[in-house]
Amino acid sequence: MYTVHTLNKISQNGLALLGDAYKVSDELNNADAILVRSAKMHDMVLPESVKAVARAGAGVNNIPIEAYAEKGIVVFNTPGANANAVKELVLCGLLLASRKVVDGINWAKTLESDVAKTVEKGKGAFGGGEILGKKLGVIGLGAIGVMVANAAQALGMEVIGYDPYISVDAAWGLSRHIKHANTLDEIYAEADYITIHVPLLDSTKHMLNKEAFDKMKTGVAVLNFSRDTLVQNEDMKVAIAEGKVAKYVTDFPVEDVLNQENIIAIPHLGASTEESEENCAVMAVKEIKDYLEQ
């Protein structure tokens, strides 16, 4: 017999997630396990009773894993459960990087009269390019990177993947038509679009910085749906100003990038689908249940 205490945000099927706006409260007393979504757990004092913490999502930067390990608290995440949701938004990001859809929509909203005629006259400012036949570099061939690589290939892109820990032959579910890059430099040298799908670690922080941008093709589009600080924003702004990077599509708006020309900042919607939230919640509950019942 165990209890899983949950705070705020009860999903439709009765599963519950600990969301961002939680308060530490008496409800947590005697909890055996905690389900957490994006709440920062570093300053939260857990009751002695907690044996497991499950993060309903992929990245675990919001959880002090090492401190928990010292106390014997097991941490789970939900690998792959939100990968399709992120993949679909990355595909949207590829198209947003190549077509001036956002600018065009914003412009169309400003039109007041004789709209059809004005559109025909003014739309020339919003021409774009196609992704068909262009080369996409995928950095990180985990759950999301593999799905993005396969889907981009199905849309007619040439795809080259890089992951120091897994080869394209071993990457689970990866199309055999994806080319393997032995080094990041190969990706930088060849890709027209670069998308990064790696965890945020000390070793990956600011991975896409001036040194990396300098090696990229002029006019490259960069997509970041993983974590904000994988990209060095100051260097990115310079790379954009110099014309090296033509577009930066990020799921992580911060002051640095908001309203910058050629940056499309999406408000962290990568995993925000009903299906993904459900998948993550179900997997997290199962992990906790299996662990506590073993």
Residue 58 CB, nearest distance to ligand NAD (Å)? 4
If DSSP codes are grouped into helix, strand and coil, which group holds residue 290?
A: helix
What is the CB-side half-sphere exposure of residue 266 using CA atoms within 13 A? Answer: 23
Is 268 considered catalytic here? yes
Interface region with ligand NAD, contact rule CB under 6 A, candidates 111-119, 158-166, 172-180, 236-244: 158-166
Determine, following the binding rule CB under 6 A, whether residue 86 of this chain makes contact with ligand NAD: yes
Secondary structure E strands in the chain: 4-5, 33-36, 52-55, 74-76, 135-139, 158-162, 179-180, 193-196, 220-224, 245-250, 263-265
* Residues within window 274-293 making contact with ligand NAD, judged by CB under 6 A: none
Is 5 considered catalytic here? no
- Of 113 and 203, the one with the shorter C-beta distance to ligand NAD is 203
Q: What H or E segment, with its residue span, contains residue 146? A: helix 143-154
> 30, 69, 79, 183: which one contacts ligand NAD (CB under 6 A)?
79
d(CA 178, CA 74): 36
Determine, following the binding rule CB under 6 A, whether residue 225 of this chain makes contact with ligand NAD: yes
Is 176 considered catalytic here? no
Residue 143 CB, nearest distance to ligand NAD (Å)? 4
Residue with tokens 């925000």: 272
Which of 5, 37, 55, 227 does the annotation list as catalytic? 227
- Which DSSP letter does residue 45 get? P
Residue 207 CB, nearest distance to ligand NAD (Å)? 6
Burial class of residue 23, CB neighbours in 10 A (0-12, 13-18, 19+): exposed
Binding site for ligand NAD (CB under 6 A): 57-59, 79, 82-83, 86, 139-145, 162-166, 197-200, 204, 225-227, 251, 268, 270-271
Q: What are the catalytic residues?
A: 227, 255, 268
